[in-house]
Structure 1
Amino acid sequence: MDKLRLDKWLWAARFFKTRSLAKAAVEGGKVKVDGDRPKVSKEIAVGMMLTIRRGFDEQEVEVLALSDQRRGAPEAALLYQETDASLKLRSEDAALRKANAGEIHTEGRPNKKQRRQIHRFVRKVVDEG
């Protein structure tokens, strides 16, 4: 197998649970092939670099093998290799998210005075912009 559709490979490599989710991600610009935004039917080959964004994480992987069959996770991991820079960046981002997780505190719903301030601010921004 020399070439394979991008959505099928993403599904087989277990980046997405279904081909339709893989298709939606490609159409939504969450997947790039060699830095370009591809179509779903783009044929990928061994050696291509993919950038895949899922949630907060962005992975940069090199295609090592092609498969159109979805297999277990250990076998799917053999289809690609994540770059060292991507691994390092993802671990740093995860550590930052974990460190900042407890800092989001809200005092509940805004009271009447705070709502008026919000409405004034929004009107001011809309009128200026």
Structure 2
Amino acid sequence: MDAPERIRIDKWLWQARFCKTRGLAQDAVQGGKVRLNGQRIEKPGRGVGPGDVLTVRLGAHVRVLRILECGTRRGPASEAQGLYEEIAPEV
């Protein structure tokens, strides 16, 4: 099965293993902890795809990532790391 061109932000955060559940991913988006291409988003259904840049604040850490793939499942961590590249060091 090929990866879709776009995917919901909450599903992508879950598949890329930034959140343990989709519910926690939805809470992070709705809580203003995620920016898409520099714009704050609040809807977990917002579509993202390859080339988009995410700024994610999880706890005391802020990570800036470029999405490389949408993915098709929540696989092992090594597979999840292939979905993005870090474009700024962890703060």
**TM-score w.r.t. length of structure 1:** 0.65
Residue 37 (structure 1) aligned with residue 40 (structure 2): yes
Letter in 2 for 1:15: F
Give 1 or 2: higher helix fraction.
1
Q: Deviations over 1:11-52 (max 9, x none)?
A: 000000000000000000001100112211000010000000
- Flag structure 1 segments of 5+ consecutive residues without an equivalent: 94-129
Give yes or no for contact 1:8–1:68 (8 Å, CA) kept in 2. Answer: no
Structure 2 runs not aligned, ≥5 long: none
Residues of 1 paired with 2:71 and 2:17: CA distance? 11
> TM-score normalised to the size of structure 2?
0.91
Per-residue Cα deviation, 1:43-83 (whole angstroms, up to 9, x for no partner): 00100000000111100000000114100000000000001
SS of residue paired to 1:9: helix
**Which one-letter code corresponds to 1:12 in the other structure?**
Q
Q: Which has the higher contact order (CA 8 A, sep 6+)?
A: 2
Q: 1:44 and 1:68 mapped to 2: Cα distance? A: 14
Structure with higher Rg: it is 1
Describe the shift of the 1:69–1:53 C-alpha distance in structure 2 as closer, same or farther (beyond 3 A). same
Kept in 2, the 8 Å contact 1:9–1:68? The answer is: no
Identity of aligned residues (%): 41
Aligned residues: 87
State how 1:1-129 maps to structure 2 within 5 Å: 1-38=4-41, 39-83=43-87, 86-87=88-89, 90=90, 93=91
Higher strand share: 2
Q: Which amino acid aligns with 1:78?
A: G
Match of 1:17, SS? coil
